[in-house]
């Protein structure tokens, strides 16, 4: 690594650390003031509150990281420009892109961190935070009851198999009163009715189960042509996994009510859902694929923030650094407004999901290239 790169990295990472910590303190303080009544109602102690916000830290980092990057790059480049360091580097034959290569690398690294946090840690924060929030007032059986989904059913459109159950434990992957119907290749219909079922070693096993075979659809009040009872019946042919069922329950609830304008569903859950529903139509398709593309586009926010900050920071010259800070506030506001607008239009089917999710990155990325061309 060249001496110049080490210098530019050091001058960027220090303000980035301060900006990130400052935004985190602000965000946690704002959330604490908002949630203070609820925290008191749940009788949380000081150590519980600390754990509650420690659990939610990945969620906050994902929220503030692009803004922290934008301000840090503006500040770092503004200082270089103020003391004519950028002019000296340009006079030595270095382009703006070469000088700012460390900033772009940090933007790419931040995008990777954003993606990892968003896909690995953030999806579990809500459940973990809820567990901390209710630990002082919940009984031992309250947690298990929150993990139960009652009287639910879904159809695996790919395998043409319908599942219904009286209750399903999201944590243990155990069902009570399951009923599964599907059609065989020979045109006969099979119906499984069991007392309970569980996922064990990659296979669904049904207990105290009746297997009914029909010559026509059993929904037409048909009489079974054969009926067999099993104490335990493993069915390796069932491809539905607990992860897919969890994704089905979570996404179908949001899809049915059209809630959530943000790209807040992990890619693995979106993938699990599309395995069960390969052919979505109309608004369901628009909503789903806007979520998918929004999830893919979100990490690039960090890189776009850096690209936007480079021409603003490098072009300040001897002017006041606060000009860049003020500009960044407007840019952040415009970016997030456009991001929410794109997701809303994409979810509603007014524009394509691809355009709705990627539009802010396209606009701000192309704008940064135009602004950078004007930097001297």
Mean pLDDT of 163-173: 91
Closest CA to 68 of 300, 294, 309, 264: 309
Higher-confidence residue of 222 and 236: namely 236
pLDDT at site 140: 45
pLDDT, mean over the chain: 85
pLDDT-derived band at 233 (thresholds 50, 70, 90) equals very high
pLDDT-derived band at 57 (thresholds 50, 70, 90) equals very high
pLDDT-derived band at 146 (thresholds 50, 70, 90) equals low
pLDDT at site 178: 95
Distance set, CA 60 to CA 14, 165, 348, 374 (Å): 20, 37, 28, 35
What pTM was estimated for this model as a whole? 0.81
Instruction: Assess whether pLDDT exceeds 70 at residue 322.
Output: no
Q: What is the largest CA-CA distance in the chain?
A: 89
Report long-range pairs for 253-257 (Cβ below 8 Å, ≥24 apart). 255/284, 255/287, 255/288
Instruction: Of 30-34, 126-130, 185-189, give the range with the top mean pLDDT.
Output: 30-34
pLDDT-derived band at 230 (thresholds 50, 70, 90) equals very high
Instruction: Assess whether pLDDT exceeds 80 at residue 85.
Output: yes
pLDDT at site 321: 58
pLDDT at site 232: 94
Judged by average pLDDT, the poorest of 242-251, 275-284, 318-327 is 318-327
Judged by average pLDDT, the poorest of 25-39, 88-102, 193-207 is 88-102
Mean pLDDT of 74-79: 85
Mean pLDDT of 231-239: 93
Closest CA to 71 of 109, 8, 15: 15
pLDDT at site 86: 82
pLDDT at site 9: 92
Closest CA to 302 of 335, 334, 261: 335
Instruction: Assess whether pLDDT exceeds 70 at residue 82.
Output: yes
pLDDT at site 167: 93
Cα of 135 vs its chain's centroid, Å: 26
Name the DSSP letter for residue 349. T
CB burial of 288-304 (b: ≥16 within 10 Å; e: otherwise) equals bbbbbbbbbbbbbbbbb
Burial of residue 38, with CB atoms counted within 10 A of its CB: 0-12 exposed, 13-18 middle, 19 or more buried: exposed
Instruction: Assess whether pLDDT exceeds 90 at residue 135.
Output: no
Burial of residue 99, with CB atoms counted within 10 A of its CB: 0-12 exposed, 13-18 middle, 19 or more buried: buried
Mean pLDDT of 352-376: 84
Mean pLDDT of 249-259: 71
Work out whether strand 148-156 and strand 161-169 pair parallel, antiparallel, or are unpaired: antiparallel
Mean pLDDT of 347-368: 88
Q: Are 254 and 260 in contact (CB under 8 A)?
A: yes
Structural domain spans, the chain: 3-137+297-373, 160-235
Q: Which two tokens stand for residue 306?
A: 């850096």
Residue linked to tokens 């990325």: 365
Instruction: Assess whether pLDDT exceeds 80 at residue 199.
Output: yes
Mean pLDDT of 292-310: 91
- In tens, the pLDDT along 16-49 reads 999 999 999 999 999 999 888 888 888 888 888 8
Instruction: Assess whether pLDDT exceeds 50 at residue 244.
Output: yes
Instruction: Assess whether pLDDT exceeds 80 at residue 325.
Output: no
Instruction: Assess whether pLDDT exceeds 90 at residue 340.
Output: no
Burial of residue 106, with CB atoms counted within 10 A of its CB: 0-12 exposed, 13-18 middle, 19 or more buried: buried
Give the H/E segment covering residue 102.
helix 101-116
């Amino acid at each position: 690594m060249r001496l110049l790169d080490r210098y530019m990295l050091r001058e960027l990472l220090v303000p980035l650390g301060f900006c990130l910590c400052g935004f985190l303190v602000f965000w946690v303080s704002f959330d604490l003031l908002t949630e203070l009544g609820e925290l008191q109602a749940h009788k949380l102690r000081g150590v519980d509150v600390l754990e509650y916000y420690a659990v939610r830290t990945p969620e906050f980092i994902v929220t503030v990281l692009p803004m922290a990057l934008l301000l840090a790059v503006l500040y770092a480049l503004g200082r270089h420009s103020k003391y004519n360091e950028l002019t000296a580097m340009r006079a030595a034959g270095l382009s703006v892109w070469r000088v700012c290569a460390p900033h772009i690398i940090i933007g790419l690294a931040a995008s990777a961190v954003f993606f990892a946090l968003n896909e690995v840690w953030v999806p579990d924060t809500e459940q973990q935070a809820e567990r901390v929030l209710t630990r002082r007032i919940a009984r031992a059986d309250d947690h298990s009851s929150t993990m139960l989904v009652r009287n639910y059913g879904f159809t695996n459109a790919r395998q043409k198999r319908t599942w219904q159950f009286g209750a399903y434990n999201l944590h243990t992957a155990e069902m009570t009163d399951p009923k599964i119907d599907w059609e065989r290749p020979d045109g006969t219909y099979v119906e499984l009715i069991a007392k309970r079922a569980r996922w064990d070693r990659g296979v669904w096993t049904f207990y105290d189960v009746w297997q009914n075979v029909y010559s026509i659809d059993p929904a037409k009040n048909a009489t079974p042509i054969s009926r067999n009872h099993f104490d335990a019946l493993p069915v390796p042919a069932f491809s539905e996994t607990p992860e897919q069922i969890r994704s089905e329950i979570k996404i179908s609830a949001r899809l049915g009510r059209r809630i959530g304008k943000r790209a807040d569903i992990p890619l693995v859950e979106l993938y699990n859902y599309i395995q069960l529903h390969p052919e979505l139509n109309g608004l369901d398709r628009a909503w789903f694929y806007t979520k998918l593309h929004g999830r893919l586009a979100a990490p690039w926010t960090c890189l776009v923030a850096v690209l936007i900050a480079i021409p603003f920071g490098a072009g300040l010259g001897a002017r006041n650094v606060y000009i860049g800070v003020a500009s960044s506030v407007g840019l952040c506001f415009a970016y997030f407004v456009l991001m929410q607008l794109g997701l809303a239009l994409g979810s509603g089917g007014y524009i394509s999901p691809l355009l709705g999710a990627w539009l802010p990155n396209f606009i701000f990325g192309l704008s940064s290239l135009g602004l950078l061309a004007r930097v001297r």
